[in-house]
Amino acid sequence: SLHQALQEVATDVRAGKNISRSCTAAKKRLKKAGFKTDYLEVRVAETLAPVKSSSEEAELRILAACWLGKTRLIDNIAV
């Protein structure tokens, strides 16, 4: 599910793993499950600026929007 994919990315970010690789892997899992991803990104919660690395001190959010058939799903979680 979309939310599960976001949770997996959050776990990776907390563990200090590469954010880009984690997001790419999540997008691949979603595609395999039938989703068409518009975006799946980790951003600074306060400004929505792109995150440079998982060692960033600011509070982060993972944002995603995907299509499942004709339905667009949007979700986000805090890291």
Task: Please give the pLDDT value at position 28.
Answer: 98
Contact 62, 40 (CB under 8 A): yes
Cα 71 off chain centre by:
19
Instruction: Pick one of 3.30.70.20, 3.30.1300.10, 3.40.50.620, 3.40.980.10 as the CATH number of 2-78.
Output: 3.30.1300.10
Task: Please give the pLDDT value at position 24.
Answer: 97
**pLDDT, tens only, 17-63:** 999 999 999 999 999 999 999 999 999 999 999 887 767 678 999 99
Contact 27, 42 (CB under 8 A): no
Other C-beta atoms closer than 10 Å to the C-beta of 31 total 12
Q: Give residues with Cβ within 8 angstroms of 7, minimum separation 6.
A: 77
pTM for the predicted model, two decimal places: 0.90
- d(CA 35, CA 37) in angstroms, rounded, equals 6
Task: Please give the pLDDT value at position 57.
Answer: 77
Task: Please give the pLDDT value at position 60.
Answer: 95
Task: Please give the pLDDT value at position 62.
Answer: 97
